[in-house]
Amino acid sequence: MKQCKKYSKPENKKYLNILFETACAEFGSALEMLKACKDSNQENLACGYFEHAKDEYEHTKTFLSILSKFGKLANSDISRNFRFSSNAVLSKGYVSGDGYLIETMKIKDFIAYVYTNELLAKESFDGILKLLKEHPKEAFQISQIMKDELRHHGLAEKYFLKYYPRLQPWQLMLYRLRETVKNKGRKFYDKNLKFLDKVLKPVYYFMAYLVGKTLSIMDSQQFNRKGKNLMEINSKSVI
């Protein structure tokens, strides 16, 4: 059996981050499609959403499997930062805390979201495919996912042509531009959040140290209320 190449720490961290973010994105898409399925009152749409959700869950499983494989090659101090949690889809913005898209969008805008994001996902997977070029098994798995994404994109396009025949190509381009900007914004936010965490963490530790040091030199007996008349204590006292 062919073993994975032993990567340097910076390169391995890059692999883990890309696989982790993609797994979160796929899981978020699965949740969105499942919610759309539950809320749909049209049997054909509900069936389509369900099949889409099932595909996205399978994609998540695939990316987590690859993530686990590469994670075992990394230093534990690095790999522990990429342990998957379903809460990550909220903290990273792949699912909004304000509600699912099907709850906050018109059906036309929701289908447009699917149409554009599936194409953007395929383009993103092109980059992942290049990243995994030395790993044929994993590259093949990604290529199969790319086929699914194109199929989802085609189904959304078919829906548009059927129910919105007057929709112009430039309008779909605007949808795509909007989602591209959102994706860039989410990545920018996540990158800066990590930067702020690195900057502020020492400050938090220092403040915690000062509080602990202050408490350690205080006389705890002054907090003892036993045998004292609480009515005689100064109302402004913090003790």
Question: What's the sign of the alpha-carbon dihedral 30, 32, 33, 38?
Answer: positive
226 within some domain? no
pLDDT exceeds cutoff 70 at 174: no
49 within some domain? yes
75 within some domain? yes
CB 120, CB 180: distance < 8 Å = yes
- Mean pLDDT calculated for residue range 35-51: 92
pLDDT at position 54 = 96
pLDDT at position 7 = 47
222 within some domain? no
- Mean pLDDT calculated for residue range 5-11: 48
With a CB cutoff of 8 Å and minimum separation 6, the contacts of 93 are 186, 189, 190
Largest Cα span, the chain: 84
CB 189, CB 93: distance < 8 Å = yes
pLDDT exceeds cutoff 80 at 149: yes
209 within some domain? no
The CATH number that applies at residue 95 is 1.20.1260.10
Q: Is 99 left (phi over 0), alpha (psi -120 to 50) or beta?
A: left
Task: Kindly indicate the confidence band of residue 9, based on its pLDDT and cuts at 50, 70 and 90.
Answer: very low
pLDDT at position 162 = 80
3-state secondary structure of 229: coil
Structural domain containing residue 21:
9-204
- Mean pLDDT calculated for residue range 34-45: 92
218 within some domain? no
pLDDT exceeds cutoff 70 at 24: yes
Task: Kindly indicate the confidence band of residue 10, based on its pLDDT and cuts at 50, 70 and 90.
Answer: very low
pLDDT tens by residue, 53-73: 999 999 999 999 999 988 888
219 within some domain? no
pLDDT at position 12 = 73
Which of 57-61, 152-156, 188-192 is most confident? 57-61
145 within some domain? yes
Report the domain count for the chain: 1
